[in-house]
Amino acid sequence: MTPQERRAFLEYLPYIKRLEIYVQCDGYRPMSRKSKLDSVQREHYRCKKPAYWKFTALKNSYGESGIYCMDHLMSRGLITSYDEQARTNKYWEKYKKEVLGDT
């Protein structure tokens, strides 16, 4: 799947919205337990990539709603739990039928 095809699929999903202007990503790089507790140190680990994707998670899943870059959209949103993955797979099948014309 090319980046253009991936973007088209993500824009098709009703629970993901692409923003016109990027903002700071809500994701974090891996950090120590001590850094997680200290808000000043925690900001040092904030993702620096531009975030264009607003993700809305299911209520009873491990996914976290927020605005993410592509990497964190995948890791903190779409493939976080079996429920989120099942929802994405359901829309992928629907996308293949409606947009790509696969049967």
The pLDDT tens digits for 16-39 are 999 999 999 998 888 777 666 677
Residue 87's domain comprises 3-100
Domain count, the chain: 1
Q: Which of 58, 60, 56, 64 is nearest to 26 (CA)?
A: 64
pLDDT score of 9 = 93
pLDDT score of 28 = 87
Which tens digits make up the pLDDT trace of 61-100? 888 899 999 999 988 888 888 999 999 999 999 999 998 8
pLDDT score of 14 = 95
Please tell me the distance from the alpha carbon of residue 22 to that of residue 85, in angstroms, as a whole number: 25
What kind and span of H or E run contains 8? helix 3-12
